[in-house]
Amino acid sequence: MTCLPTTSPQKKLGLVIDLDICVGCHACAVNCKEWNTGGHSAPLTDMDPYGQDPNGVWFNRIHSFEVVDEDNDSRTVHFPKSCLHCDDAPCVTVCPTGASYKREEDGIVLVDADKCIGCKLCSWACAYGAREYDEDAGIMKKCTLCVDRIYNENLPEASRVPACVSTCPVGARSFGDLNDPTSDVSQLVADREGFDLMAELDYKPTNKYLPPRPKQNEHTVSASNKPVALTPVSTEKAGLLAQWADKVLSL
Amino acid sequence: MHPAKSVILFTTASGAGYGLLFLLITGHMFGVFPADSTLAYSGFGTAFMMIIIGLLSSTFHLGRPERAWRALTQWKSSWLSREGILAIVTFGPTGIYGLCWIFAPNTTISLLLIIGVTALLLCAATVYCTSMIYACLKPVSAWHNRFVPASYLALSLSTGALLLNGILHLQGKNTPLFDMITIALILVSVIIKYYYWKYIGETKGISTVGSATGLGSMGKVRLLEAAHTEANYLMKEMGFQIARKHAKKLRNITFISGFILPVFLISLTGITESAGISNLLVFCSIFFGAIGIVTERWLFFAEAKHTVSLYYGAQSV
C-alpha cells in the first residue's frame, strides 16, 4: 500500500547538508551518478549523451544561488538538492500502484521498479523536484539514500554511507539517524540551527540544511560597512622606458 | 505544468461523457425526455464512447501502459487510483440503467430509482476524483484550491449538456426546457471559471525562492548558476512557459468559444423554424464548445506553476 507507515519510523536516516561549507564542485552529484547507475535503481539513463541535447536521470543536482543582503553585500551559496525522504511524503500517497513506498524501518522513500507505471504523478506531488523520470525505462527514479551501500556488508564499514557523503571533499554532507537526538547529525542540526526546505508545505523533510555562517567581515569591509576599494600599491610615476613600453603595448 | 495531450483528452472527453450520463439519467427519471430506445442508444452510446476514449487516452500518458491495471490497487491513499476504480465501477449502474430503459421499460420505479441514484452518485464521484488528482497537489497552488473540483464538476455537466442537447435536436426531441438547462449549466461554468481565474490571478503560492532554499532570511535570493546546462525532465515537465505568455488571449478564446458562442447558437435555435438550420446551429455549438473546453484544459495545465521552478530561477509561484 502507498499509505505512509502508521507508526513513525524507528530510525529516520537522512542527510545534513552544510551550505556554509559546500563549494559547489558537483563531486557528490558525479559520484551519485557513478554509483547509482549500477545500483538499486540502475541504470541512470542518459538520452543523447554525446549529442545536441544531452539529458538524463540524476538523483542529485547542485544549484548555485546568490543572496544579496540589505547592505547590497552579496554572497554565493551552493545548494545541493536530492530527495529529502519526507516524513509526510505525498509522492508516496499519490502513487496509484503501490510502487512508491516509505520504509518503516528507516524512513527511506523508494520506488519499486517492477510496479511503477510511469504516470509521473509522484514527481508532480514532490515540491522539491527530487524525482526524475527515466524516458527509456518508462518509470520514475529517485535517490535511494544509497540503500545498497549503507547496509552493504561487503563494503568496509567506513564506506557504508551514501556515495555523495563519501565523496564530498570538504565534508559538507553528513549522514545519520535524525530521529536519534544524540546522533552526530542531530547534534549538528541543533548546534547550527538546521532548517527544513519549504517548511510551510508541511512535508516534514528528514534531510536538513545548515545555514551559511555570518560573514567574517573585519578584513574585507571597512568600518562604514562599505567594501574597501583596492588602492594602488605605488603612487610613484613609472620610469620613461616603462611609460614608453606601456604606450606601445596599449596600441 | 506541461499540458500532455493525452491527459487533456482524458479529462475533457471523460468529463463530458459522465456529464452526459448524469443528465441523461436525471432527465429520464424526471420525464424530461421521451423514453424511447433511440435516445437511449445514442445517448448512452455517445457517453460510453467518450469515457472509453478518455480512459484509453489516459493510458497513453503512461511510461508502462501494460501495467495500468496496477493503478486500481491504491484506493486507500491515491485519488488517481480512486478515479480509476470508480470509472470502471460506474459502467455497472449506468449500463444497467441504460439496459432497463431500452429492454425493460416496465421496471418498477423504486428499482429504477435505486439504480439511477447510484449511477448519478458514481458519475459525480468519478469526476470529483479526477479533479482531486490535481487539487490534492500542494506544490501547484493554481490547482490546490476548491475552485478546481467545482470547475471540473460544472464543466463536466455543461459539456455533457451540449452533447445531449445536440442529440435531442438531431432526433427532433429538443425542448425549450433542455435548451434552457444547457444554457444555465454553461453560465454556471463560466461563473466558476471566472472566479477560478480571479483566484489564481490574486493568490500566490506560499512558497518562494527564499523558503525553497531556506536563505530568504539572509537577503534577496536569486539563481546564480543553473544546476545543469540542458533542460532536464523537471524543467520540461514543470517549467512549461508558452501559455503564460498568451494566457490572456487563450482565456478569451475559452470564454468566447467555450461559453459565449454555444449559448448564442443554442438561443438562435429557438427562433428558427427549420430543423436543418437548427441542427447546424447545435452542431456548431458542440464544435465551438469543444474548442473552448480543450483550450480551457490546456490552460489549466499550462498556467499552473510548480514549486520546482523556484530552483530554476522563479522568485515565486
Task: Establish if B81 touches chain A: CB-CB under 8 angstroms.
Answer: yes
Residue range B208-256, pLDDT digits in tens: 999 999 999 999 999 999 999 989 999 999 987 776 778 889 999 999 9
Q: Is the pTM here over 0.90, yes or no?
A: yes
Residues of A in contact with B130 (CB under 8 A): none
Does A3 sit within 8 Å of B221, measured CB to CB?
no
- Picking from A119, A128, A134 by the largest number of B CB atoms within 10 A of its own CB, the best residue to mutate is A119
Residues of A in contact with B227 (CB under 8 A): 61-64, 81
Residues of A in contact with B237 (CB under 8 A): 120, 123-124, 133
Please give, rounded to a whole number of angstroms, the shortest distance from the CA of B87 to a CA of chain A.
14
Residues of B in contact with A135 (CB under 8 A): 63, 233
The set of long-range contacts for B247-253, using a CB threshold of 8 Å and a minimum separation of 24, is: B247/B299, B247/B303, B250/B295, B250/B298, B250/B299, B251/B197, B251/B299, B253/B291, B253/B292, B253/B295
pLDDT for the residue numbered A7: 80
pLDDT for the residue numbered A30: 97
Mean predicted confidence (pLDDT) in B46-58: 97
Q: Does domain A13-210 have CATH number 3.30.70.20?
A: yes
User: What's the CA dihedral at A221, A226, A227, A231 to 10 degrees?
Assistant: -100
User: What's the CA dihedral at B17, B19, B22, B27 to 10 degrees?
Assistant: -110
> What does the domain layout of chain A look like in residue ranges?
13-210
Residues of A in contact with B138 (CB under 8 A): 90, 125, 127, 201, 203
Residues of B in contact with A100 (CB under 8 A): none
Give Cα separations from B75 to A123, A139, A214 (angstroms).
19, 21, 49
Q: Which of residues 230-259 of B touch A (CB under 8 A)?
A: 230-234, 237-238
* Average of per-residue pLDDT values in chain B: 95
Model confidence at B161: pLDDT above 80: yes
Residue range B261-275, pLDDT digits in tens: 999 999 999 888 888
Does B1 sit within 8 Å of A132, measured CB to CB?
no
3-class SS of residue A174:
strand
Model confidence at B294: pLDDT above 60: yes
A vs B, Cβ pairs < 8 A, gives 203
Strand locations in A38-159 (E): 46-47, 55-56, 61-68, 74-81, 100-102, 109-111, 131-134, 139-142
Fold of B5-312: Formate dehydrogenase/DMSO reductase fold (1.20.1630)
With vertex at residue B66, the alpha carbon angle to CA B62 and CA B72, rounded to the nearest 5 degrees, is: 80
Query: Which residue carries 476514449 as its cell?
Result: B53
Burial B81-92 (b: 16+ CB within 10 A, else e): bbbbbbbeebee
Residues of A in contact with B226 (CB under 8 A): 63
Does B140 sit within 8 Å of A94, measured CB to CB?
no
What is the number of other CB atoms lying within 10 angstroms of the CB of residue B252?
13
Nine-digit cell at B202? 490574486
Q: Backbone dihedral region of B75: left (phi > 0), alpha (psi from -120 to 50 degrees) or beta?
A: alpha
Does B74 sit within 8 Å of A98, measured CB to CB?
yes
Please give, rounded to a whole number of angstroms, the shortest distance from the CA of A181 to a CA of chain B.
22
The interface predicted TM-score (ipTM) is 0.93
Pick the residue from chain A with its C-alpha nearest to B139. Answer: A127
pLDDT for the residue numbered B196: 97
Please give, rounded to a whole number of angstroms, the shortest distance from the CA of A28 to a CA of chain B.
13
pLDDT for the residue numbered B180: 96
Residue range A30-68, pLDDT digits in tens: 999 999 999 999 999 999 999 998 999 999 999 999 999
Task: Establish if B225 touches chain A: CB-CB under 8 angstroms.
Answer: yes
- Residues of chain A where predicted confidence (pLDDT) is lower than 70: 1-2, 217-229, 234-235
Residues of A in contact with B212 (CB under 8 A): 128, 197-198
Residues of A in contact with B77 (CB under 8 A): 1-4, 92-95
- Picking from A19, A65, A75, A86 by the largest number of B CB atoms within 10 A of its own CB, the best residue to mutate is A65
Give Cα separations from A188 to B67, B129, B137 (angstroms).
44, 44, 32
Task: Establish if B212 touches chain A: CB-CB under 8 angstroms.
Answer: yes
Please give, rounded to a whole number of angstroms, the shortest distance from the CA of B61 to a CA of chain A.
7
- Picking from A55, A97, A135 by the largest number of B CB atoms within 10 A of its own CB, the best residue to mutate is A97
> What does the domain layout of chain B look like in residue ranges?
5-312
Q: Which of A24, A117, A134 sits opposite B68 (nearest CB)?
A: A117
Phi, psi angles (nearest 5°) of residue A197: -80, 140
Percent residues over pLDDT 70 in chain B: 99
- Picking from A67, A112, A208, A213 by the largest number of B CB atoms within 10 A of its own CB, the best residue to mutate is A67
What is the number of other CB atoms lying within 10 angstroms of the CB of residue A119?
30
pLDDT for the residue numbered B99: 96
Please give, rounded to a whole number of angstroms, the shortest distance from the CA of A189 to a CA of chain B.
14
What is the number of other CB atoms lying within 10 angstroms of the CB of residue B63?
18
Phi, psi angles (nearest 5°) of residue B185: -65, -40
Q: Is A238 exposed, middle or buried (0-12, 13-18, 19+ CB in 10 A)?
A: exposed
DSSP letter at B199 equals: H
Does A55 sit within 8 Å of B230, measured CB to CB?
yes
Task: Establish if B154 touches chain A: CB-CB under 8 angstroms.
Answer: no
Whether B144 contacts B136, CB under 8 Å: yes
pLDDT for the residue numbered A220: 55
3-class SS of residue B12:
helix
pLDDT for the residue numbered A110: 97
